[in-house]
Amino acid sequence: MTNLNSAPAAQLRDLLRVAGCNARLVPADADAEVRDVTHDSRQAGPGVLYACRPGHHADGHDFAPAAVAAGSPALLVQRLLDQPVPQLQVPDVADVLGPVAARVHHNPSAALTVCGITGTNGKTTTAYLLESVLRAAGHRTGMIGTVQTLIAGQAVPGVRTTPEATDLQRLLARMRGAGVTATAMEVSSHGLALGRVAGTQFAVALFTNLSQDHLDFHADLEDYFQAKARLFTSAYTPTAVINVDDPYGRRLAQTSDAELVAVSPSGAAGGDAATATPADVTATDVQATGDGCRFVAHLRSGSVVVRTPLVGDFNVANALCAMAAAEVVGVDLATAAAGIAACDGVPGRMEPVDAGQPFTVLVDYAHTPDSLERVLVAARGIIQGRTDRNVVVVVGCGGERDTGKRPLMGRVAARLADLAILTSDNPRGEDPSKILAAVAGGAAVVHGAHWQVVIDRRDAIATALNAAGPGDVVIIAGKGHE
């Protein structure tokens, strides 16, 4: 593990510049050396600037005495505190935390090729594909995302898709210290809305798609879109790779002030005359194969045949976005195609489970109406329209999250599966039967659909497996890698 204490210290006075014109140091002639910054008082100590960030459930200012007692030499505050250490006062700690942390760690993203990926669905798969391509190109790689965080192939603990600002800059500094040269990073709407990626310099930003999700956090779908759109400004990245087959992608392509690389897996670029965007990157001759799919990718520098073990048209889109981003950062087409082929799967994303059964079992993280539809359409492609084969899905919705998507999930499952087993999926503090009533309400409007409720998830999976016959496809949705 990289020792951050070996890095040169930052001076507290140097942080005034990145903290903004309304920042002030108290006392004015004070200074201190800091080598790290944290918003968690349990990580405070000598050389660690403690950021007193107000939160939803607690105010970091209340924990300043503990941080000072642990040895923190200075505080980042919104209101001055009666503490015997220098204090850097700013109007909003959350707004400056990313840039301050980046400065403390000497702007680690500037030494890396950081590729940011956002979208409702496809972030994780695209990150895995892009990391594989970058590695094929000779980069020592990192990856930050939902399933795992990697530093030069070594897994490190992670708790959320996009780490908190202090954790992210520390992580990027560790990558730089470990010799990493390029990183594929998932960027969530929460991470953008809460300023977690502020202070990070992206070489390229990718947009996969946008559909309903996280409306427990965002006010509405427009607010969700605007959070995603922040990444596609020249303040964050010089180049935007955008899937313009997606309606929100077409809109984003028109508003982004970064250089545009328009990706259209269909080649149609979608929309009417006013919104259609000419495509720079497309796919043709898409063919499902026994071990994945094959297609021809057309990029700005030429065309290449691509083979991938991943199934589904949506994975063609993910692969195209990864290849387009790789081209932006200097990877040639042949190497990009080799990297795509070398990525043999993503945990919990259309992941096959083979215990010798005469039918296909796939585990997928699909937890939105759009992602569930994509997965079930892919499953129907596997059975190739044969009437003697069925698609069975196990699906539910998490508790204490976007309630509006629950009936939509039930409707999609009932419409596209021959049998839908509705079950519990991380209810948190909610009554699972209440959640499932909403999901079942959506399934009930589909005329002639076959579905049932089995609350216990293990029992639901067993029910699905017992119902499956030779040649069928069983999708276990929602949990994915979890």
CATH number at residue 463: 3.90.190.20
Give the pLDDT confidence score for residue 216 in this predicted structure.
Answer: 62
Per-residue pLDDT, 274: 54
75 token code pair: 């505080």
DSSP annotation of 307 reads E
Is 80 exceeded by the pLDDT of residue 39? yes
Do 283 and 154 belong together in one domain?
yes
268 in a domain, yes or no?
yes
Total domains in the fold of the chain: 3
| pLDDT range class, residue 205, cuts 50, 70, 90 | very high
pLDDT for 158 equals 76
Please give the Cα distance from 478 to 463 (Å, whole number): 17
For the packed helices 313-328 and 333-342, what is the interaxial angle rounded to 10 degrees? 140
Report if residue 482 sits inside a domain. no
Residues 69 and 49: beta-carbon distance below 8 Å: no
Of 44, 61, 96, the one marking the end of a domain is 96
The average pLDDT across 336-342 equals 98
- Residue 254 within any structural domain of the chain: yes
Domain with residue 10: its CATH number is 3.40.1390.10
CATH number at residue 258: 3.40.1190.10
Same domain, 329 and 414: no
Does any domain span residue 101?
Answer: no
* Same domain as 219, residue 180: yes
Judge whether 337 lies within some domain: yes
- φ/ψ of 110, rounded to 5, equals -70, -20
Judgement on whether residues 258 and 396 belong to the same structural domain of the protein: no
Confidence of residue 300 (pLDDT cuts 50, 70, 90): very high
pLDDT in tens, 45-93: 999 999 999 988 899 999 999 999 999 999 999 999 999 999 999 999 9
- Mean of the per-residue pLDDT values of the chain: 92
117 located within any domain: yes
Q: Is residue 103 part of a domain?
A: no
Residue 442 has pLDDT above 50, yes or no: yes
Identify the pLDDT of residue 289: 78
CB 152 within 8 A of CB 176: no
Instruction: Give the domain-ending residue among 309, 342, 375.
Output: 342
253 and 373 belong to one structural domain: no
Q: Do 301 and 367 belong to one domain?
A: no
- Give the pTM: 0.86
Together in a domain, 262 and 141:
yes
Residue 95 is inside which H or E element, if any? helix 93-104
- The confidence band for 341, taking pLDDT boundaries of 50, 70 and 90, is very high
- HEC string for 353-396: CCCCCCCEEEEECCCCHHHHHHHHHHHHHHHCCCCCCCEEEEEC
Residues 131 and 171 in one domain: yes
Tell me the average pLDDT across 214-242: 85
> Using one digit for the tens of pLDDT, what is the confidence trace for 363-398?
998 888 988 998 999 999 888 878 889 999 999 998
Mark whether 253 and 365 lie in a shared domain: no
Instruction: Quote the pLDDT of residue 170.
Output: 97
Residue with the two structure tokens 């220098």: 86
Strand partners, 306: 295
- State whether 261 and 357 are in the same domain: no
What domain range includes position 198?
108-342
Which residues lie below 8 Å from residue 261, measured CB to CB, with a gap of 6+? 239, 240, 241, 242, 280, 281, 300, 324, 325, 327, 328
- Local confidence band at 1 (pLDDT 50, 70, 90 cut-offs): very low
User: Which of 96, 130, 156 is at the close of a domain?
Assistant: 96
Q: Based on the fold, state whether residues 164 and 255 are members of the same structural domain.
A: yes
Domain co-membership, 151 together with 268: yes
* Predicted confidence (pLDDT) at residue 272 exceeds the cutoff of 80: no
pLDDT band at 322; cut points 50, 70, 90? very high
Rounded CA separation 322/241 (Å): 9
In a domain, 185, yes or no: yes
Cα separation, 42 vs 166, whole angstroms: 13
* The two three-digit tokens of residue 8, written as one number: 């040169």
